[in-house]
């Protein structure tokens, strides 16, 4: 199934534009889970089970799994397999290299890990994108303007984020989306004007200080077709560090879903 098909099906079925970040941190999770043979997997399993009817997509940040070595990669694989097949899975890797290397990355992420989408660093240009385009049913979220403060060093300096946005629009919205940080209220409207049909993956709500109001006022394509996935990770999955962590995550996901939908009704 093509990424867009999954996106449309899940947003309609769950009435949700929430992209839940599965970024499990051993230091923040309930202590009793640390006694399990694979705490990351046990944590994710409970989170997925409690939120799978409330999300539009899941995003898994590769670093949180890689940092735990082989057990972390095992947890990543099990989590991908456990997510219902109709829900889009985004692997957050921010990868971008020469074409020969990108072929190998694409094979790993799409043929072996079997995710639906990845995040991409575009700074090495067309070489990064060309091998990805061979995977017609997959999707690529390209860094346009990120939510971190030091985005001002490069992406927000001059016209770089605008140049990248124009490239994303040129490459086509059927395969290419954009990572657009919620902490950039002035730029949100600009990048939407440059990418009118592009699907935006929007981090930065919550812990990073982004405003949902700014996002919904400036970043959605239209009320009937918002073309957004609003990501929240630690603010949901690590809201509670007791045995009620999964039910707490479900409650926080529901709150965000309802808050988003208030702007669309």
Catalytic residue numbers read 94
3-state secondary structure of 227: coil
Which DSSP string do the residues of 98-125 spell out, in sequence order? -HHHHHHHHIIIIIIS--SEEEE--TTT
Using CA atoms, how far residue 71 sits from 46, 78, 214, in Å, is 17, 10, 39
The secondary element (H helix, E strand) that includes residue 231 is strand 228-232
CA distance 172 to 154: 24
8 A C-beta contact, residue 60 and residue 76: yes
Indicate the Cα dihedral angle 220, 226, 229, 234, nearest 10°: 60
């Amino acid at each position: 199934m093509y990424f867009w098909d999954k996106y449309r099906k899940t947003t309609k079925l769950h009435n949700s534009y929430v992209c839940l970040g599965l970024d499990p941190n051993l230091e923040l999770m309930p202590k009793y889970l640390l006694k399990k043979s694979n705490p990351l997997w046990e944590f994710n399993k409970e989170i997925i089970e409690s939120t799978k009817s409330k999300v539009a997509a899941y995003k898994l940040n590769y670093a949180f799994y890689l940092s735990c070595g082989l057990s972390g990669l095992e947890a990543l694989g099990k989590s991908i397999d456990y997510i219902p097949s109709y829900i889009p899975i985004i692997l957050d890797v921010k990868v971008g290299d020469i074409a020969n290397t990108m072929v190998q990355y694409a094979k790993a992420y799409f043929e072996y890990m079997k995710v639906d989408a990845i995040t991409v660093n575009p700074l090495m240009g067309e070489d990064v994108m060309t091998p990805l385009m061979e995977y017609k049913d997959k999707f690529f979220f390209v860094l346009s303007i990120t939510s971190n403060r030091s985005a001002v060093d490069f992406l927000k300096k001059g016209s770089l984020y605008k140049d990248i946005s124009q490239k994303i629009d040129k490459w086509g919205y059927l395969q290419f989306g954009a990572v657009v940080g919620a902490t950039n209220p002035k730029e949100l409207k600009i990048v939407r004007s440059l990418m009118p049909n592009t699907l935006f993956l929007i981090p930065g709500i919550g812990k990073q200080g982004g405003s949902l109001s700014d996002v919904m006022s400036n970043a959605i394509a239209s009320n009937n077709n918002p073309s957004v996935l609003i990501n929240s990770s630690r603010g949901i999955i690590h809201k509670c560090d007791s045995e009620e962590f999964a039910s707490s995550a479900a409650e926080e996901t529901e709150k965000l879903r309802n808050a988003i939908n208030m702007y669309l009704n």
